[in-house]
Amino acid sequence: MPTREGMRGLAEEIVGSYSDRVAGIAQLRETVKLDLKGFQDSRTAMAQELSADLAKSVADRKAAVSTQLKELDAAHNAMSREMRADLNKGRQTLAEDEGKRQSEAREFMGELGRAVAEGKAAVKTLLGEFDSSHNAMSREMRAELTKGHQTLAKGGRKRQSEAREFRGELARTVTEGKAATQSLLRNFSEVQAGARDEWQKLTATMQSKRGGVAVAVKPPAKEAVGITSEAATLRNQVFQYLANHPDGTKLVKLEKEFGVARIKMARVLKDLMGENKVEKRELLYLAI
C-alpha cells in the first residue's frame, strides 16, 4: 500500500514533467504538420505528373485511332473497288451464261417437240393395233361364250336326268331298307319273346327242384335294339332331304323341317356321319 510520502513524490514528479510533456506534444504537432505538408506537396506533384501522362496518352491514342481510321477507310475503298470490279465481271459472266442457257433451252424445246410428235404418232399406232386386237379378241370370246352356253345347257339337261334317276334309285333303296329293317325287328321280337318264355320255364323248374322255395331270379334284361323303326325312318328322311339339297343345310333348319328336338336331330346326323353318308362343312350338313 503506497505511503503518503510516496504519493507526494509521485505528484511532484507529474507536475514537474508537465512542461516537458507539453513541449513534446508541441514538437510532435510541428513534425506532423511538416509531414502532412510534405505529403500534400508530393500528392499534388504526383497528380500533375499523372495528368500530364494522361493527356499525352490520350493524344497518342487519338493519333493512333485517327491513323487506323484512315487506314480502314483506305482498305474499305480498295475493297469496294475490287467488289465493284468483281460484280461487273460477274454480271458479264451471268449475261453470257444466260444467253447460252437460252440457246440450250431453245434446242431442248425443239428436241422435246419432235419427241412428243413422234410419241403421239407411236401411241396412235399402238392404239390402232390395240383396238384391232381387242375387237378380234372380243369376237373370239363371244364365239367361245356362245359355245360354252350351249355345252352348259346340254350338260345341265344331262345332270337333271341323272339326278332324277339317282333319286328314283335312292327311293327304291330306302323302301327296300325299310322293309328289311321291319323284318329284322319282327324276327328280333320273336326271338326275344321265345327267350323270355324259356327263362320263365327255367325259373319254375328251379323253384320246384328247391322244394317250392321261391328264388328271386331276374329275367334277362332286354337287349337294346340297335335302331327302332321310327329312328330308321327319320334317318332315311334326313338323308333324302340332304341329298335333295346339295348346297348343305344347317341343324336349325333340319329341326324346323322335321319338327324334332335339336338333341335328337344331332344324334341322327352323328349316326349318318358315322356311316359316311353325311359330312359337315362349317355349319352345313351335306349328303355324300
Does residue 34 fall inside a structural domain? no
Domain contains 69: no
Q: How far is CA 55 from the centre of its chain?
A: 82
Flag whether pLDDT at 10 surpasses 50: yes
pLDDT of residue 177: 57
Structure confidence by residue, pLDDT tens digits, 40-73: 998 898 989 888 888 888 888 888 888 988 898 8
Interatomic CA distance for residues 240 and 171, integer angstroms: 8
- Please say if the pLDDT value at position 215 is more than 50: no
CA angle 249, 251, 253 (to 5 degrees): 65
28: β partners: none
Residues 142-160, mean pLDDT to the nearest whole number = 70
223 has a pLDDT exceeding 60: no
**Residue 262 included in any domain:** yes
Q: CA-CA distance, 220 to 231, in Å (whole number)?
A: 25
User: Confidence band (pLDDT; 50, 70, 90) for 151?
Assistant: low
* pLDDT of 224 higher than 60: no
CA distances from 97 to 16, 90, 91, 92, 105 (A): 117, 10, 10, 9, 12
- Statement: residue 13 has pLDDT above 70: yes
The DSSP annotation for the chain comes to ---HHHHHHHHHHHHHTHHHHHHHHHHHHHHHHHHHHHHHHHHHHHHHHHHHHHHHHHHHHHHHHHHHHHHHHHHHHHHHHHHHHHHHHHHHHHHHHHHHHHHHHHHHHHHHHHHHHHHHHHHHHHHHHHHHHHHHHHHHHHHHHHHHHHHHHHHHHHHHHHHHHHHHHHHHHHHHHHHHHHHHHHHHHHHHHHHHHHHHHHHHHHHHHTTS-----PPPPPPPPSS-HHHHHHHHHHHHHHHT-TT-B-HHHHHHHHT--HHHHHHHHHHHHHTTSEEEETTEEEE-
Query: Among residues 246, 277, 258, 286, which one has the least CA distance to residue 173?
Result: 277
Encode pLDDT of 84-138 as tens digits.
Answer: 888 888 788 877 877 787 888 688 788 877 867 887 787 678 677 857 766 777 6
Residues forming beta bridges with residue 285, ordered by sequence position:
249, 280
Mean pLDDT of all residues in 151-157? 66
Residue 287 phi, psi dihedral angles, 5° rounding = -80, 140
CA pair distance 186, 225, nearest whole angstrom: 11
**Residue 279 within any structural domain of the chain:** yes
Give domain status of residue 178, yes or no.
no
Query: Does the residue 183 lie in any domain?
Result: no
Mean pLDDT of 205-214: 66
Confidence (pLDDT) at 221: 43
Which residue range is the domain that position 280 belongs to? Answer: 227-288
Rounded to two decimals, the pTM is 0.26
For residue 235, the domain's CATH number is: 1.10.10.10
Mean pLDDT of 243-253: 94
Which residues make Cβ contacts (< 8 Å) with residue 288, sequence separation at least 6? Answer: 276, 277, 278, 279
C-alpha span between 49 and 271 (Å, rounded): 133
Number of separate domains in the chain = 1
Question: What's the mean per-residue pLDDT of the chain?
Answer: 79
Instruction: Say how far apart CA 9 and CA 148 lie, in whole Å.
Output: 165
Contact 220, 199 (CB under 8 A): yes
In terms of phi and psi (left: phi > 0; alpha: psi -120 to 50; beta: otherwise), the region of 211 is: left
Structural domain includes residue 254: yes
Query: Is 93 among the domain residues?
Result: no
